[in-house]
Structure 1
Amino acid sequence: MSEFISIIIPCYNQAIYLDECLQSVLDQTYSNWECIIVDDGSPDNTKEVTEKWIEKDNRFQYLHKQNGGLSSARNAGIEVAKGEWILPLDADDKISSRYLELAQKEFDKDYTVIYCKAEKFGVDNEFWDLPDFSQQALAQTNIIFCTAFYKKKSWEKVDGYDTNMLYGLEDWEFWISLLKNGGNVYRIDEVCFYYRTKENSMITELSQTRKTMMLFHIEKKHLDFFHQHLGSMHHLNYEKEQNQKKAEYYHNQLQKLINSKRYQLTEKIFSIFRR
């Protein structure tokens, strides 16, 4: 029997994109799935749009909850999900018709996370060039988008998405929780995920103050992980100071050269030939 997959789509003020997103789910070549649309107290017509899709196919489900943020909405959907495997998908993004099929072929190979190559569309239309996975790379920045497969029991093991991550970066924190103690990651060698870029998004609107708050929370929660792969904060500060000293040294050397009589004489000679 083929594995059952639960696709979780939180929606808050994204109903305008929801049809396109759900059509990409309906187009899947792999049929053993359910799709739970989580209305996170959205003030738009998310419910009406979803009801239309439920009439088309009863594999679509609607779940309403009080607004609590993206992490809370994903957790609510996964909590009621029946699938062994979970695939989060944001309401403004899309997946290719073969994404579930290609991922399912890898389910029996002991992978913790399965994802794919990706493209951006919307304001930017380009291949999304992400680094290959390594814990070192993950410690530096998020390198896996949210729409990746993992087992529900893995989500349970790390207590789900951190609801303290109210202002973004929740995916990065989740992947660190899931993978910092080991785990195998596989990337499908095909573009199966399409990330919508907009003038305004949760990421672009993330103020520096809020971003600092989220980064501080992640660092505090996973300090051992960052120490292991990036070194201590003191070591990073020392390297920063050394790099600043090197930059100042080379700047001073350049200034000495520019101010030297030899350099000024050379410039005069060149100016004569330029005439």
Structure 2
Amino acid sequence: MTPDSQTNFLYLADTLPKKYPEFYAGLEKELNKQKVAFDFLTNTKDVWAVDYMPIQVGEKFVQFSYDPSYLKFKKYEKTKSDVDAICSTLGIQTQKSEIVLDGGNLVRSARQAFVTDRIFEDNPTWERKALLEELKNLLELDRIFLLPAQPGDFTGHADGMVRFVDEHTILANDYSKEPKKFFEAFEIAIHNTGLEVIKLPYPIYENTSNDHANGDYINYLQMDKVIFAPIFGFKEDEEVIRILEEAFPKDSIIPIESNELAKDGGILNCISWNIRKDF
């Protein structure tokens, strides 16, 4: 796959500046300051672009079915963007797969990926081993690791849980204050990968709703030589920036105040469709 660290062009939903004007103003300022090339996806129906847009795998784009279990209710139908129309506008032809998978539930490096076990709920007709093998083939991966979906997480996504530093190291949330059953299952899952683990603070416990993502620092936006890291005015902000600077010494770490966005459950990776373009 094309890892985030190799992407050089960012697309955002055209709904983003309208829905989150204060947040967008700060993000736009830093994107321009860092000379990040970006544009808007047109005629979108929600801001969470990573979920419905295709996955870049070298020269191809794999389009999974955007029909997750959490959007089955009628009230969410109006939030589903026409991905075929968006890709057509961009001149992108996709390789379609019937597998139901949100981009936010695929945390990737070049040869490895994480998904949560929500993928089995979303694809009940697939035999589990066959489903994972098909994903590996489509995405040209060596290994796929499974994580337990976090209790109370509406989406069951992996991008708020772990991220790759490189092929040997990951960042992972410190879930030590989570329910014991989940914490132990998560720790076993990341231990079994054989990868080195760096823990990030996870101070979400003062949030008034499970829908709030304030404090989920791991949902950053990574591109070539730059990481845009969410901050929240929490005492942990400085510690997280320091950890990211140590983990990615060759990258610029740019803090982005993200409270307005996080109140609706998503942060920087959620709104981003970042790809590799040959200009």
TM-score (norm 2): 0.24
Richer in helix (by share): 1
Bigger RCO of structures 1 and 2 (CA < 8 A, at least 6 apart): 2
Bigger-Rg structure (1/2): 1
Richer in strand (by share): 2
